[in-house]
Structures are given as C-alpha cells and as structure tokens.
Structure 1
C-alpha cells in the first residue's frame, strides 16, 4: 500500500519531534558541533545502506549539473541548520528551541513565493500567519 505525501509529512514531523528530544538528551556533556558530526555520520551510514539495499545507487556525476548544484546547496543549508539547531538545543529548552526552528515553515512559504513562483491562497496565508503567531507565543519567556 502506497502512502501519500501527507502521511510522509506527518512521519517527518514525528521524527523531527523525536530528533529534538533525543538530541537534547544526547547533548549532555558533549560539544554541539561534535554531536552534529556523530548524527551526520549515522545518517550517512543508514542512507548509504538503504540506497544499496533498494538498488537505487547512481553515479552522482551522471546527474544534471543543475540538480547537483542545488543538492549541494541544500546539503550546505542542512548542515548549517543542524549546527545552529544543536547549539540552540545545547543552550536552551527543547520546548522553546523547536517552535522557533519551525519558523522555517513560514520562511519556506515566503521563499516559495519569491523563488518558485508558488501562490498560496488566503487560507494558506492564514495558516502560515497562525504558525508565525504560534512560534511567537511559544518562544516568549515564561
């Protein structure tokens, strides 16, 4: 049975939530940059095994140059995001760091309009505004 995009998105959100909890627990007594390196190595090993087992390996140099460029830029942005996220988790509470990190939802919508030509409707913008408001409320000091 094939799952649709919403199922994968919900799984992604669930795993992202677990990421914050497990990372916060794992950062105790460890430098955040070193912890990010360990996390990245584990991800690399698991994904390499998955690609091999599912016979999805392709020579990356056979891919279109434009695709490679954007994948490299995405990887650099991911790495920067992870480094910042782990530092924030090391210094702050997971329940405050994670909501601010989800401001990325709002930024994705704005960047999608600017760079991809996407046009959310009024309901979409309302949802995006509510996410922004939620981030603001959850990030305020108690």
Structure 2
C-alpha cells in the first residue's frame, strides 16, 4: 500500500480545499483594493513561498534543463493562469463568492472536454455523466435556479 501523501487523490482534495479557502480569503481581500493589484500581491506571495520551498528542498534547476517544448507550454500555462487569476479576482470583487466559485469550477468540465479533444484522453459514460452533473450543479448554484 502506498503512503497517503503519494496518492494523487489526496493532493487533489488538498487542492480543492485550498481553492475553497482562496475564494473566501480573496473575496475579503479585494474588498477595498483593485482586483488587478490584489492579483499582483497574491502573485508575490506565491513567488516568495515557491522560492522558499525550492530552496529548502534543493529543487532549483537551471533553465537549460527545460526543453523548448516544455518551456513553451509552461509559458502558455503561466499566461493562462495569470488571465484566470485576473478574471477570478475581478469576478469576486463584483459578485458573491458562493456564486463566482461554482462558475470558476466549470473549469472541471472544460478540462474534461479539452483533454478529450487535445490530449486524446477518454472518459467512460459514467465519467461523462459526472462531468455533466458538475456542470449542471455549477450552473444551478450560480444562478439560484
């Protein structure tokens, strides 16, 4: 049996928990400042924490160890992350966290679609039913229908 922290499911649950806290903390944090500046502050915190983590774990690597293909996709991922954060903080500033977060979680539906289209990943019928339920649930929570 593999150790608990070696399970992707545990890390995914931790990610979900921290994402939930992100919504709550961010909603409070953007109350009296611009959403773009709030995103900047959050990014500085993330950079500092990651620099500390890399230092403690001796995880620093030279940029030369990153292949051009990996580098390109990491840059694209960074741009997508930045755009997502900017949009998320703007939405939180304008709307209720309990309604913004479910719409943000439609990313789960989009990941399933994009993974099937671009990565050739296959979901079972049960998997697609789950994706449909996530999408339906997100819309129901966000719209109050």
TM class by shorter-chain length?
over 0.9
Match in the other structure for 2:125:
122
Confirm or deny that 1:16 pairs with 2:6: no
Q: What are the ranges of 5 or more consecutive residues in structure 2 without an aligned counterpart?
A: none
Q: Equivalent of 1:113, from 113, 116, 122?
A: 116
Alignment map for 1:72-111 (pairs within 5 Å): 72-111=75-114
Residue 139 of structure 1 deviates from its aligned partner by 1.2
Write the distance in 1 (CA, Å) between the matches of 2:96 and 2:60: 39
Which of 43, 57, 63 is residue 60 of structure 2 equivalent to?
A: 57
CA RMSD of aligned residues (A): 1.0
**Structure 1: gaps (5+ residues):** none
Runs of 4+ aligned residues of structure 1 deviating over 3 Å after TM superposition are none
**How many equivalent pairs are there?**
142
TM-score (norm 1): 0.97
CA distance in 2, matches of 1:14, 1:136: 20
Question: Which residue matches 2:8?
Answer: 5
Q: Provide the residue aligned with 1:47 in structure 2.
A: 50
Q: Could you give the per-residue CA deviations for residues 63-114 of structure 1, whole angstroms, max 9, x where no partner exists? A: 1110011001000000000000000000000000000000000000000001
